[in-house]
Each structure stands twice: as C-alpha cells, then as structure tokens.
Structure 1
Amino acid sequence: MKILSGIKSRAVMTALSLALAVTSGAAQGAPVDGDRTPGVRVKAQSAARERFNIDRDWRFAFGHPYDASQDFSHGTRGFFFAKAGYGDGPADLKFNDTAWRRLNLPHDWAVELPFSSRASANHGSKALGATFPENSVGWYRRALPISAQDKGRRIAVEFDGVFRDSVVWVNGHYIGNERSGYSSFQYDITDYLNYGGENVIAVRVDATMEEGWWYEGAGIYRHVWLTKTDPLHVAPWGTFVRTEVADGSAEISIDVEISNDGKGVEGFTIEHLIVDADGTSVARFETSPQTLNGASSSRVAAQFKMDRVRLWSLEDPYLYKAITQVKRKGEVVDSYDTVFGIRTLRFDANDGFFLNGKSIKLHGTNNHQDHAGVGVALPDALHEYRFKRLKEIGVNAYRASHHPPTKELLEAADRLGILVIDEHRMMGTTPQIRNELERMVRRDRNHPSVILWSVGNEEWAIENTEVGTRLTQEMQAIVRRMDPTRLTTVAASGSGGTQGTAAGSEVIGFNYKAQHDIDAMHKRYPDRPMLVTEEGLTFATRGVYVDDPERVHIAAYDKRSGGARTASIEEGWRFNAARPFLSGMFVWTGFDYRGETTPFGWPAVSSQFGMLDTTGVIKDSGYYLKSVWTHEPMVHLLPHWNWSGREGEDIDVRAYANTDEVELFLNKKSLGRKAMTVGGHLQWSVPYQSGKLVAKGFRNGKLVATQTVETTGPGVSVQLAADRTRIKADGSDISVITVSVADKQGRVVPTSDSLVQFETTGPIQIIGMGNGDPGSHEPDKPTERHHFLTVKNWRVKGGEAKEALLAHLADDDASTWRRPFQWVPEDQRPPESPYYLVRAEFARPKLTDDDTVELFVADVTRDQVVYVNGEAVAPVQLDGLLVIKLDPAKIKDTNSLNYLIRSPAGGFGLLAQSAQEGGRWASLRVTTPAPIWARRVFNGYAQIIVQSTGGAGPATVVAKAQGQAAATLKFTVQ
C-alpha cells in the first residue's frame, strides 16, 4: 500500500483539530482579480500586530530549590501565593536587582558551571542537579515599559524554551508554570500590566530535575518575545497552510484560527496574500464576511489555486509567504505571516521515501541541541553553521532527538533544504502531555522541512505491550487531526511482537538494525513504511588512533561498540542501502554532545558517537559517510602520519573514497592500487617511516581525487580561520572561528595541544570555546560568578537622641533589641522614637584570593548613616542601592551592619512591613572574576565563537600561545 501525504478529501480537511476548543466557520470567497501580476512587489502594510524580541538586558542570579534564605526569601511572605500580586523575593515588583548580573538571552547557566566527579555523567558532569542545589535554580528579571497607548490591546509574552520547570510572575502576579524544558509557551499578560509605566517580568527556573539523559543546560535558553495585538487577531500559531500539487500548479488550503478577546460581537473578513521569495505578489484570496462572538474563537478555511508554482526541494528549498490580514470594516487590525513551501511527501512501504515524486534515501543524523562553548543557548546563526557542516558529509535529514527543536533550527532547515523528523518529548495522553504535543504540532506544521512526526523513543516499559499500541495510536490520532498531511512514527529499540509502539506506528522506526529482525518485520507488516531511526552507536575520538582509556580516548577506526547487538557505521549503511523498502538511516549521532559518556564515566564529559566532534570538525566516520552519501570525487586517509618513535611498526592505514580505485603512496613509492567495494573502505598495513602518505582516487582509470597526509614539524604559529569575517551589528550575529597550530610549512600539527589565549577588540565578544576533547575539563565559557549571602538577625532599637543610640554600636549582643518584623498587637506596640538604630549580621564568606565582597544596602531613609563593624562608611549610589566594598582582610567571623535613621513618615512599623524580612534592606555579594579566555587545541584544533555586541565597526581577534607566533583575524561588523 502506498501512503500519500496531503489532503485527500473535504472530509479529511474538515477533520483538522486545533489545540484550543474553537467553533468552525468555512469561508466563502474567491481570488481577487489582478493580484497575480508578475513583478508587483508587496510592501508591508501597517497593522495592529507588533512583535518584539526582548532578549536583551535581563538580570540573573542563582537561587535555591528549597532553602528560602538562599532564594532571596522567596515563598516566605504571608499570602505570597494566596493573594493576587503578592509575589515575594524576586517575584515582587519592588525587588531591587541592581546587584544581579546583567546578560542577554538566550542563556544557559549550566555551560558556565565547573565540571565535577559528583555530578551526573549523563548530563556532562556539570555541577548541577540535586547534589548541587546552589547551582540548580536561577532567577531572571526584566523591566518592561508599556505605553499608555497600548491599553485596549492584547499583550502576550512568549517563551520559545526554558529549561526547566519555569514559573513566571508579572508585577508580582503569578502567571503560570511550565514544567517541560522543551515546549514553547506563552501567557497573555494584558490584565496585569501597568500602562504608561514600568513592568517587571520575573522568571524562576528550577533545573534540579533531569528530563532526558543527555546534557540539557539550564535557563532561558531560547528567545523571548512580546506580542501586541488587537483583541480581534490570529491566534498564536493559528495558521495552517497545506498544498496539493498537480501539473505545475497547486491548490492552497489555509486554515486560520481567529480569536476575539473582546466583549462584543465582531464582524471581519480575512485576506490571504501569497508572495514569493522576492516579495512579489503571486496570489490573493479574500473571504466573505464573518462574525465572531466575544471571548471566543473560530476556524476560517480558505482554498484557492496557484499556477506555475516552484516546489521546495533539497536542491532548491524555495519558500513562499502567506500574509494573512484580518480586516474590520475594511481596516487591517491584524497581519500574520506564515512561511511555507510547496512540496509533496510520500512514504512507501516497498520503495521508501519520495519528495515531489522523486525517490530519496534519507541520509540522516540524530542530534541533541548543544554545541561546544555555548551549551544549549545557540545563537540563531549557529544552527545554519551546524547544518552546513552536516551537509558537507552528505546529510539530507535530521532527527531532533528527543524533543521538539527550537523554531530557528526548523527555519534554517527550511532555507537550506534539510528534512526533519520532529520529535515529541514524552509519550502519553494526559492533559499536560497532550497539550505539549499539540503545541509542538501547531508551532511546526507549516515548515516544509518537517516530513515526519515522532511521538516517542525507546519506550522500554510499554514497547511490546498493549498499552504501547494504544498510546501510539491515540497520539497519532491527535497529530492526525491537527495535521493530516504527515505521518507519525515511534523509534523502537525492540520490536517483533503483535503489540507495542512499533506495531501501532504508521511508519515503523527501528533503533539499531542489530536489535530487530527488520526483514521479518517487513514481511509481517508489508503495508507499513519503515526507516532506521538510529544506527551506529560507535565510539571514536577525533584524531586519536590508539585507545587511551586513561584519557578517555578511543581509536577512530570505525568498529562496533559492542557485540552482535551493535553495528559499525559501515555495516549499518550497507544494510540500509541494500533494502529499498527502508526509507533511510539516521546515524547516532551527527555531532558529539555533552553527557552520555559511554563507554566511560568520569573523567569523560561528552559522548563520542558523533560523525563530527562537539565543535563540528569532521571525524573519520563522517568521511566514510561522505564517501557513500556524496558524488563529488573525494578520498580521505586515516590516520595522521606523526608517529615518531614507532619507526618500522605497522600502522593501520585506511581510505574512504567514492572512486572506483585508490592507490596509496608512501614517499612516492606505490603501496598498491585497490578496487573500492561499493559502500566499503580500503585498508593497508604500512610500516611507519616519516614523510608523505598520498592516496589517489581513480574513476574509469582517470585520477579525480587526491589526499595527502604528511609528517609535520613542531608547532610554531597559531592560525585562525572564520566561517565569515563580516557579521551584522545586531548584537546576536556570530562567526565561528577554527583555531589550529601549524609548523614552519603551515601544516596543521595533528598532535598539538598548545594552550591558546584569546583577546578581542571592537564591537565583538567571545561567547564560547571548545576543542572536541571528550575528557577536557577546561571552561567552555569563563564567566564572572556572583554568590549572594543573607544579611540576617535584624534588630532595632529606638531612642530620643542619635548619640545615645550610637553608643550601642559596640554592643556585642543585640538579641534583646526588638525584632522589627515580629507582629505585635496594637496595644502592645512601643511608642514611636525620633531615631532608630537598625542592626543585622552577616558571616564571613568563603573567599578565594581574587574574590571581591560588596554590601548592597537599601536607601531606607534619606538621611541614614551606615556602619559596618561599628565604623561609618560612605556607600556609592548605584541604581537605587548603596554599595559598600568591603576589605576581605577586615571581615570578621561575625560582622555587624547598622543603620542610624530618623523616624520615617508613617512610623517605623510601616517601614518594616515593606522590608520583606530585611531582604529589601541589604544583601552581601561575593564576586569571583571570570578566568581568562584560553583553550588548549586538541589534536591540532579548537574553536571559539564570537558575537557582535550591537555596535558597528572594525574588530579583531588575537590568539597567542607561548613560544608560537600569534594570529590576528580582522572582522567587519556592519
């Protein structure tokens, strides 16, 4: 049976289910005459919708999962959760975050943490999780001005992804909680805003609990947006564009969910304008008038034809845009853009996968979302960089393992022509899990790159059970109602029974051929499409050719990682290539990633499964895939040829090539020409002598490719090479820089481990570094670290005169003084005094030699005098707080902080009520400065990533290593 993508009937079309409960109304209308004129450019039309990126200028500090004293006293205020607007600690609108670190999003605080043997190896051994509560909660705050003119609009804050368990507060009001670290979510905050003034968003993120078994990061690691709309608007992710292709034209179906968040009935029409990649109008359709009650939603469907369409394909990933305009009395009140591609998909049970009717074998890789140096907080341009590296080895497909990817990754896949399996994080049908699944499908269903939904991965507890069948089929039904144009799979680690996730899947996904009898499954389910969703699972350290367990390095010769239940990359591909019914193979993995350090535990901190290392340098197995997945003539030799001390010993030399034959030469002497087996490799045993090893590839007897590997001298210079030297001055664009060490002849030294230091000038900054060494514990992202300590044991003493109170500065024990925050019945309260001496204590913090210590003190009253250990100090004003820099040599085991204040208006009791147990009055900050930016090259290579800071102009990166010539790389930021 051939399973086709696309809408096959009106019945299927009307079966579309949206994530929200909506009423449905089909639109009647027709294409607007005269709007397909070639060459007519479409200009952006003014509309009520505004969408802003609000990544910049956040404040960040570490909290604590269960100790309120280390969590800025959050959760301790009376009624803090019981009453609207009673958020306390950082959730309080009036909390002063001046002492916090300022940063821009996306941000992953886990990548900034040190490595530890006590940490979870699966998560990259970063000092995070239950063992490290002091590092496992982070607070983010941002001021947000909202214009008075925005009153009457609907305003929402959108988070593309927060890891993990985030709670959002706005102006002290609890807004909501998102448990998943991978789902995009948003909140309508209209009713909580201060129009014409400042507003504060506070986000508490708790990354204590792991959601997966790989490095997951921590923090607001994807973008944040603010959207403003008319009450009558397109709902979030509210459009769905589907296409049917025939004879060079396409039938376009667009479903739009319209929300009316106003109180009354609204009349409106919808106009769809289709523009091509040049911005030229190619089609327009306007619906008949519609009406919608207040506080309700409706689905409006439209269908029209486009002639002379250009299909989206791997070679030509052509994109159109649908501009959907909502009009009320002819005025545009909302405009919503949907980028889409026109193409057909088909998974065939016997012949595999087809795109636009063309048979395509899926050359896929599985990937997690982290990259060396930046963790999971990838700048947008880094997704494109990673895809381009994968495309170099012939990759045409990407499985987002094992969670929904960021939307910028899908946008890059759309632009570059990469096919994507979009995967849900967890199997289930409970309201929470179902809602997460629906959000994924709604968000991603317009991307032409997405060819298949995956609703689960290796669900061992249910993989061969009736429950597994049921959950698979129920989740597929949910997806099918929302998107009838794509099929669904579950990646199974074991199959063969009549029940389970494989038995229930529309497309059967096999993880590792050696764990299944795939041929038997094809016979059992002859009508089911199939593909290998994971294959390989091999270990290899880039540039290493002798096992070295002490350094957690594994020789990079492609071999099985275990026994008969595993396969080499070569075995996996040859099996797949020989079976046309298999749609393709997804290698585990494309890139190495932090965590899952099999076969080692500590001191390994990253996996070694990748075809590329954590920085994107291609490993030898990646070159094998290039030899079988690409046609441009190539030959690749391994290993390197620096084996001093092993003269005369046999070295295992291998060649990967897509030529008919390869001839190997050592110092111009032929070691024989061999015929290449299809899908295989060639191998020689070569007694080592220094010099030059050359492989020559031949097709039809003609030399078409050559690679040379030669013995190098010692490193004498640092080299820098950027993927681009012109970047945008937008504060987010990046350049990826390869760092290497070369000998006198400019050849990269493949065994170098030089320590290289980096400096920048101009409007750029380094945001991360890496070198691909799975055992390196060097910092990825040297970062200044703030640690906040509680100032506690608050006491107060009233007096008639300043001098009398000052005599008590020397009191060793203030326990008999009044507790300022203790409630006292009105008839027992002491009379107001003209003056008060307020005291608190703080302990000596643990300090390193470079640490600085500062007291951040509230300006409690205008004429207060501050004393530390009985001595008057002169604080410095900073954004509403007073800052006192302390001399570490003068800090005692127990220290006193005193304020001498005049009785404030309303009395001291009113002042104490707003102090939140003293949390607003003072805090102690210990700052550990960031280490210098330095990284060792690993087997000759390292990587740094630089990002623009927002300004324009020339910039440079300088790299220095002891005893070697420095390198300078110039950039233009424009």
Structure 2
Amino acid sequence: MKNFKKTEAKRFSFILILVFATTAIFSQGRKTINFDANWQFTKGEIAGAEKLTFNDKTWRTLDVPHDWSIEGPYDRENPSARGGGYLPTGIGWYRKTFQLDAADANKILTIEFDGVMANSDVWINGNHLGKRPYGYISFTYDLTPYLNFGKGKTNVIAVRADNSVQPASRYYTGAGIYRHVRLVVVNPTHFKHWGTQITTPNASAQKAVVSVKTEIENKGAAGTYKLQIDIVDSKGKIVKSSESQENIAANTTSNLAKEMEVQNPKLWDIEAPNLYTVTTKLYSGKTLIDNETTTIGIRNAEFRADTGFWLNNKNYKIKGVCLHHDGGAVGAAVPLGVWKERLKKLKEVGVNGIRTSHNPVAPEFLDLCDQMGFVVMDETFDTWTAAKHNGEKGYNLIFKEWWEQDTKDMVLRDRNHPSIVIYSIGNEVHDDLSYPEGFKTYKMQEDVVKKQDNTRPVTMALFRPANSKVYLSGFADHMEIVGQNYRENELIAAHEAHPTWKVIGTENTHVLVQWLALRDKPYMAGQFLWTGYDYLGEADWPETTNNQGLFDRAGNWKQQSLQRDSWWSEEPVVHIVRKSDNAGAGVWVADWTPNDFDTYDNAKVNVYSNCEEVELFLNEKSLGALKKPADDSPREWNVTFEAGTIKAIGKNNGKIVAQEEQTSAGKPAKIILTKSIPTLANNWDDVTFITATIVDEKGIRCATADNQIKFTITDAGKIIAVDNGNIINHDGYQGPATRTYQGTAIAIIKANKNSGTISLKATAEGLTSDSIAVEIVSKK
C-alpha cells in the first residue's frame, strides 16, 4: 500500500483521469456501482413508504452499511433480551432515490444486498421484488422491468427490515441494511450472477490445473462470442490465457468449462497466502460486453482420518476460533478495518482458522481471510426446525421454507474463496438426529452444498453426541467429517473406536485439557475456540456481552489470550498474571497494582510461557526458575506482595529469548493516546483505533482507573464508536465519552475528508490531557 501526498490540483486531475478511464471500461462491459450513499431512514411502521411518490424528506439521511440497533439504548425490557443483548428491535425503513442514464435502457440492472437484518421486503418504484427472511444471506433482484431512464426521471428503491418478532436469536443480530449494496448494469448477454466457479483440482509447487466453469446467460439474440480468460499473478502479470469461440443461443444459459495449466505457481497457504485473479471477458466481435474478476488461491486442502488437516501436502493443526458477525461497539455494520485489527491480534496469538458462527458472514470478511491466511469453516445455520432457548422465534420458524435457497446462495457466493476448507450445515441443532430420519435432514443439506461445490467436505457441530446416540446409530458413520462441540474425550473415544472417521473440534473452551486433545492426537484436525472475541448478546443482565473471547470487545488482551499465546505462538513468549484478590481469590489480571495495597499480601502468580525455563524476579530479587512442564501448564509461584516491579525472563538453551515486567502504578496523572494504524483513507471501511490509557507520572498504566474520558475530534475525522470492553457497560457506544475500564478506553475513528490531518484529543477531570494526529492519505 502506498501513501500519496499531492496538491489539490494534482489530486483532482488524477481523480478525473481515473473516472474517465473507469467509465470508458464500464461503457463496454459491466458497471458495478457502489449504492451505499444517501439513503433516507426512519424507524417504525410507515404506511405507503414503498411508493414512488412517498415524501421521505423528514427522514434521516445516512449511508449504509447501517445498524440502527447498536445506537441503543440498552434496556433490560427490550424484547431482544439476553440473546440480543438488550438492544432495541423493531421495523426500519430505507429509501434511496436515483436516476439512470438513458443509454442503459436496453441493459439489465440488478441490485445486490450483502445482507439486510431481517425479514426484508424490497420495492422498486412501488413494485414488490421479494422477501428474504434470513438476515445473514446475500441476495439480488432484477430491477429492469420497473425502471425509469433518462434525465429528470427518478427511481426509488424502498427496503423494509423487520426484526420485531423476538426473541429471534441467541446472540446479537443488528438491524437494518447492515452490509454493502451495489447496482449492477450488464448487457443482455452476460455472466450469470455467482455463475463462475474456479477450482484447482491439481495443485503443486511445480504445476497446477486451474478449472474455470462459468455460466453465460443470454437474454438477447443468438450469436458467436469470444470468451477470454486470463490468470493474473499478484504483480499484474498474465501467467496463462485462454480464448475460445462460443455459440450461444437466444434465451438460454450456457455452461462453459476450461482447464488451464500454470507452471510453478505460488501456492496459497496459511504462511504465505498468495493470491491470483482470474478475469473472464466476453466479446461480441471486438466489443467487450461483459467482464468479471475473481480472486483465487491455488492450493490443495484435504482432511485425513489418521493425521488430520493437510494443506499443500503439509500437515497443519487448525488452531481456530469461532467469531460472531458483530464488531463490538460498531454493532453488525462492521468496517473492514475493524476486522483487520481483530484478525491481526488473533494472528499474534497463533490463530490460523476461523469458524463463521453460526451464519454466513459479509463477503469482504472472507476476502480478508484469503489475504491474511486463515482457513475457514463456513457455516449456514444455528438452528434447523427445533427452537433454542432465548431464540425461540428464530430461523427454526422458516427453516423448511428457506433452508435450500439460503444454503445454495451461501455456497454459490463463497465457493471461490481459497480460505474456505470446510462447510458446516448446523450448530448444536436440537432436532432429533436419530438415524435414518435425522440423517435424511442432514443429507439433503449436504447434497445441496455438494451440487454447488463438491471440492470441500461438509460437517456439522454435533451437540452432546453421546446423549443423542449419533455415534451409535449410524449417523456419524455417514458424515464426511465428524464435528463435535466440547466433550473432547467423547470425540477421542469415538475416533479410536472408528479409526476411519475424520474428526474436528467445532467448538472448544480455553482450558488446558482441550488444548492437549488437539496437541497430542494426530488425527484431531483442529479446534475452534469459543470465542476469538467477546460478542454482543448471550448474556444475563446486567451483562450485555458474552465474555468468553480471547480478547474483549475493545481488543484488550485477557488471561486466556495470554495463555493461548504461550501454546500457539511460534515466537518465544512470557506473560505474567496474578489473582486479583488476596491468597488466590478473584480473577486473573495482568498488572502489579492491587485494588487495595493494604490488604493484598499473598499474590498467586502464574507465568504463561513456551520457553524452556522461566525465572521470576521481584524488585530484582530472584524467586526461582522453573522448567517448562510437559503438559504446557503454567508455571506457578506464591509471592509475598511488594510494591515495585515483577519480572519474568524466559530462556532457551540458556539464552534470554523473552521477558516481561509489570510495575505497580501510582495515582492517575495523565492520559496517553496511541493509534492502531497511522493513516486513514476517506472510505467507509478504513478505521483506526485510538486507545486512551490512564497512567501515573512514570507512565505506568493505572489498572484500577475508571475515569470518564471525553474525546473531541476535528472536522477532518469522525468518531464512529467509543468503548472500554466492560461487559456491564450500559452507556452505549455512539457518544464522544466513555469511562475507562482497567485503565483504558478506545475511540474508533474514520476520515471525513480526502486530505489533511485528523486531530483527536482526550480529556478527563484532574488528568493531563493528550492529543494525537492521524494523516489522511490516498490508498490503493
């Protein structure tokens, strides 16, 4: 990524050139138009809001993605209850007015929604296009028959989103058009939506076969067309091309398949996520009439019964986490920059796998997994027909009507992502899985997946299989991969009784015994911890957030992430934690500043480390050295507390390779600001996390500080959310102020202009304030 500094004149000229070039290309092929800006929004049921002539001038103007539920307020009486985190639910309306070029009157125009929560109805110029109940699914509608073209002629798209029927989910869903929207303009002869599938059936470092299958939809006249396919590497070099003449009949869909050989490809894997793009172009004569670009990775992934997961003939343990779709303080409308920051921290801990629990995610999230080298378990549903507590009015009410369409659409949309190595078609479903009746429901879903993509195995997250008898009834015998939540010893016993079964932990806790089940059993392909990040909902008031994550909502490290770092990191690490209260009581914390110095004299200290030897010091006095336990358990000391500095030194082969120290803090004195990335571009997805830390005069974090922090920002930027990670915080995330928790708070900011510098200031009563600058740049 390059940062550019230009004069305003040069920048404007560059933009004009770019717009001209883009328009020239799109005038021949397809046009994909960002449709996120300038929607009108209001809450509540509004009669006639779908009509073209409805007056929406008093509605709020905003851009999507937009989640109105996260705006709050928190209320114990909100119908979402514990599942939805006590945030508001109801009906929301969106309307967008737009005009269309008369030159496009003979083309086909569709609108693509990446996700609308939930029970969406869509109208164009008063004409109802359809309903999609499942808020996580992406969908498209053909607008063509109902549009007005030409100067001065307006069109209105109206969307009604209804999540008023509650409790609809065991975890937070969000509300509204919370993902991106696009308008797509194509010629009558065009590549079908989600109609291109690219696989690498044979892939090695010496040679790879890239298989391209594409569907061309012809709603025009019959003709002979040229299909051109280029495989392009990360530097923009075409490494392989194919051209063919294709006769396509009128009003038909043609299925075309090409195999192309690439010599010495750069393979996609966890350690080096190399990507290629495949451009497919369709010509009529010399005129480009449609074009698509698909990002792919050349790789070979498989699961083996005896040795687990293999990628490009290398045996990996999938060290995964489950992630819900919310981004904490930003709710369900998550800028990609939030996910970048989260996935970066998960990488630091050694995570290499993500389970999309328990629903389809935003497509750009999968793009990021492709780019960063995470393998993914792509999951469809949390429920089938049986209800679950605190989500009784969820997908179970529509499963029979919608499961097939929703499953098909997820697989068609996602199948080209190299990161996806396995599909899951259910999480702890409470339906009767007795064989053969229960397996019939499983098999019909598996068949739909396989019809759209037969290159990846299918599993589900089994719930208490020893109780449901699926290991004995024959159900598990027919699963491609047996996935089980928790109870690792049951899964181990099941595999050892059935050595031909391929097995994986689909959901696991953070405790040592569950890590050892993965570490010590070669056939265990992987595990997915519950969870990578704390997530909204599934919590009992006054808690609003489930806190089982490796990291909290604001991205702060927790005891379990520090310990996991010592188990999964490839680098030498040491981390010191102590029990917060005297004599081993309380919770684990990572500081040397007790709540009450006078009553804290017996500190139970653990050091998490992958080093061969760890020596602990208190105020430069050695408290002894301990060797690494064979079972990866922490090294423990009982320490008579003294204010000052505790330090752990890790050694390998007698050499210091890692160390960490903590120092007792004095009285809060000032605020220190830091930023997660130094520059921002003016787009919806780019954010930086500004962390405010309260420190004493020596710069030591005051872990017990809970001061109210107020953020102010110049007009070049905007604060989109504030947070502190506290699971009982009810103040909301939309204002400019929040209290610190364990001495820190964050403000998530975006750019508001195309150039300049953003200045953010943090103040608190009685403390020295701090300011920080973030430069706005052009990014490509």
| CA deviation string 1:915-955 (max 9, x = no partner) | xxxxxxxxxxxxxxxxxx10111001211111122432111
Looking at structure 1, the residues matched to 75 and 229 of structure 2 have their Cα atoms a distance apart, in angstroms, of: 55
Q: Contact (CA 8 Å) 2:681, 2:754: kept in 1 or not?
A: no
Looking at structure 2, the residues matched to 126 and 267 of structure 1 have their Cα atoms a distance apart, in angstroms, of: 59
Looking at structure 2, the residues matched to 411 and 436 of structure 1 have their Cα atoms a distance apart, in angstroms, of: 20
- Give the drift of 1:646: 4.2
Q: Map 1:251-266 onto structure 2 (within 5 A).
A: 251-262=209-220, 264-266=221-223
- Give the drift of 1:503: 4.3
- Give the drift of 1:278: 1.2
Looking at structure 1, the residues matched to 176 and 435 of structure 2 have their Cα atoms a distance apart, in angstroms, of: 37
Q: Contact (CA 8 Å) 1:741, 1:940: kept in 2 or not?
A: yes
Q: Contact (CA 8 Å) 1:647, 1:689: kept in 2 or not?
A: no
Q: Contact (CA 8 Å) 1:490, 1:502: kept in 2 or not?
A: no
Matched, 1:123 2:83: yes
In the alignment, what sits opposite 2:484?
510
Matched, 1:236 2:193: yes
Q: Contact (CA 8 Å) 2:307, 2:523: kept in 1 or not?
A: yes
In the alignment, what sits opposite 2:758?
955
In the alignment, what sits opposite 1:583?
525
Structure 1 residue matching 2:446: 3-state secondary structure: helix
Q: Contact (CA 8 Å) 1:157, 1:226: kept in 2 or not?
A: yes
In the alignment, what sits opposite 1:530?
503
Aligned-partner residue type, residue 333 of structure 2:
A
Q: Contact (CA 8 Å) 2:360, 2:380: kept in 1 or not?
A: yes
Matched, 1:357 2:313: yes
Q: Contact (CA 8 Å) 2:281, 2:292: kept in 1 or not?
A: yes
- Give the drift of 1:46: 6.4
Q: Map 1:183-582 onto structure 2 (within 5 A).
A: 183-196=137-150, 197-209=153-165, 210-243=167-200, 244-246=202-204, 248-262=206-220, 264-294=221-251, 296-425=252-381, 426-427=383-384, 430=400, 432-496=402-466, 497=469, 498-499=472-473, 502-513=476-487, 517-536=490-509, 568-582=510-524
In the alignment, what sits opposite 2:592?
641
Looking at structure 2, the residues matched to 212 and 266 of structure 1 have their Cα atoms a distance apart, in angstroms, of: 50
Looking at structure 1, the residues matched to 475 and 364 of structure 2 have their Cα atoms a distance apart, in angstroms, of: 30
Matched, 1:155 2:97: no
Looking at structure 2, the residues matched to 751 and 206 of structure 1 have their Cα atoms a distance apart, in angstroms, of: 42
Aligned-partner residue type, residue 251 of structure 1:
V
Looking at structure 2, the residues matched to 530 and 316 of structure 1 have their Cα atoms a distance apart, in angstroms, of: 26
| CA deviation string 1:238-258 (max 9, x = no partner) | 111111114611111100011
Structure 1 residue matching 2:359: 3-state secondary structure: coil
- Give the drift of 1:648: 5.7
- Structure 2 residue corresponding to 1:704, chosen from 626, 640, 657: 657
Looking at structure 2, the residues matched to 100 and 48 of structure 1 have their Cα atoms a distance apart, in angstroms, of: 36
Q: Contact (CA 8 Å) 2:759, 2:771: kept in 1 or not?
A: yes
- Structure 1 residue corresponding to 2:30, chosen from 49, 54, 60: 49
Looking at structure 2, the residues matched to 427 and 277 of structure 1 have their Cα atoms a distance apart, in angstroms, of: 41
| CA deviation string 1:287-306 (max 9, x = no partner) | 23222221x31211111211
Structure 2 residue matching 1:310: 3-state secondary structure: coil
- Structure 2 residue corresponding to 1:105, chosen from 64, 77, 88: 64
Looking at structure 1, the residues matched to 598 and 428 of structure 2 have their Cα atoms a distance apart, in angstroms, of: 45
In the alignment, what sits opposite 2:689?
736
- Structure 2 residue corresponding to 1:622, chosen from 561, 564, 573: 561
In the alignment, what sits opposite 1:145?
99
Q: 1:187 and 1:45, CA in 2 relative to 1: closer, same or farther beyond 3 A?
A: closer
In the alignment, what sits opposite 1:896?
none
Q: 1:468 and 1:524, CA in 2 relative to 1: closer, same or farther beyond 3 A?
A: farther
In the alignment, what sits opposite 1:887?
none
In the alignment, what sits opposite 2:39?
58
Unmatched tracts of structure 2, length 5 or more? 1-23, 386-398, 579-590
Aligned-partner residue type, residue 485 of structure 1:
T
Looking at structure 1, the residues matched to 25 and 520 of structure 2 have their Cα atoms a distance apart, in angstroms, of: 51
Matched, 1:610 2:580: no
Looking at structure 1, the residues matched to 660 and 531 of structure 2 have their Cα atoms a distance apart, in angstroms, of: 26
Larger Rg belongs to: 1
Q: 1:334 and 1:750, CA in 2 relative to 1: closer, same or farther beyond 3 A?
A: same
Deviates more, 1:440-449 or 1:284-293: 284-293
Looking at structure 1, the residues matched to 525 and 295 of structure 2 have their Cα atoms a distance apart, in angstroms, of: 27
Structure 2 residue matching 1:517: 3-state secondary structure: helix
Looking at structure 2, the residues matched to 174 and 208 of structure 1 have their Cα atoms a distance apart, in angstroms, of: 21
Aligned-partner residue type, residue 321 of structure 2:
T
In the alignment, what sits opposite 1:35?
none
Structure 1 residue matching 2:438: 3-state secondary structure: helix
In the alignment, what sits opposite 1:943?
746
| CA deviation string 1:109-164 (max 9, x = no partner) | 110011111234433433434xxxxxx11011111111111101000010000110
Structure 1 residue matching 2:570: 3-state secondary structure: coil
Structure 2 residue matching 1:122: 3-state secondary structure: coil
Aligned-partner residue type, residue 768 of structure 2:
A
Q: Map 1:655-666 onto structure 2 (within 5 A).
A: 655-666=607-618
Taking only the aligned residue pairs, the percentage that are identical comes to: 33
Structure 2 residue matching 1:571: 3-state secondary structure: helix
- Give the drift of 1:732: 4.1
| CA deviation string 1:35-74 (max 9, x = no partner) | xxxxxxxx978632000111111111001xxxxxxx23x2
Aligned-partner residue type, residue 628 of structure 1:
W
Aligned-partner residue type, residue 460 of structure 1:
H
Matched, 1:758 2:711: yes
Q: Contact (CA 8 Å) 1:260, 1:266: kept in 2 or not?
A: no
| CA deviation string 1:761-794 (max 9, x = no partner) | 0321111111110111111124xxxxxxxxxxxx
Q: 1:199 and 1:44, CA in 2 relative to 1: closer, same or farther beyond 3 A?
A: closer
Aligned-partner residue type, residue 474 of structure 1:
M
- Give the drift of 1:462: 2.3
Q: Map 1:920-935 onto structure 2 (within 5 A).
A: 933-935=736-738
Q: 1:319 and 1:481, CA in 2 relative to 1: closer, same or farther beyond 3 A?
A: same
- Give the drift of 1:501: 5.8
In the alignment, what sits opposite 2:7?
none
Looking at structure 2, the residues matched to 368 and 471 of structure 1 have their Cα atoms a distance apart, in angstroms, of: 25
In the alignment, what sits opposite 1:596?
538
Aligned-partner residue type, residue 638 of structure 2:
S
- Give the drift of 1:725: 2.2
Q: Contact (CA 8 Å) 1:372, 1:780: kept in 2 or not?
A: no
Aligned-partner residue type, residue 229 of structure 1:
V
Looking at structure 1, the residues matched to 299 and 662 of structure 2 have their Cα atoms a distance apart, in angstroms, of: 44
Looking at structure 1, the residues matched to 429 and 295 of structure 2 have their Cα atoms a distance apart, in angstroms, of: 34
Q: 1:780 and 1:450, CA in 2 relative to 1: closer, same or farther beyond 3 A?
A: same
Q: Contact (CA 8 Å) 2:205, 2:266: kept in 1 or not?
A: no
Aligned alpha-carbon RMSD (Å): 1.7
| CA deviation string 1:90-111 (max 9, x = no partner) | 1111111111111111111110
Unmatched tracts of structure 1, length 5 or more? 1-42, 64-70, 75-88, 130-135, 537-567, 783-932
Q: 1:648 and 1:61, CA in 2 relative to 1: closer, same or farther beyond 3 A?
A: closer
Q: 1:246 and 1:653, CA in 2 relative to 1: closer, same or farther beyond 3 A?
A: closer
Matched, 1:971 2:774: yes
- Give the drift of 1:464: 4.2
- Give the drift of 1:499: 3.5
Looking at structure 2, the residues matched to 124 and 658 of structure 1 have their Cα atoms a distance apart, in angstroms, of: 39
- Give the drift of 1:463: 3.6
Structure 2 residue matching 1:413: 3-state secondary structure: helix
In the alignment, what sits opposite 1:85?
none
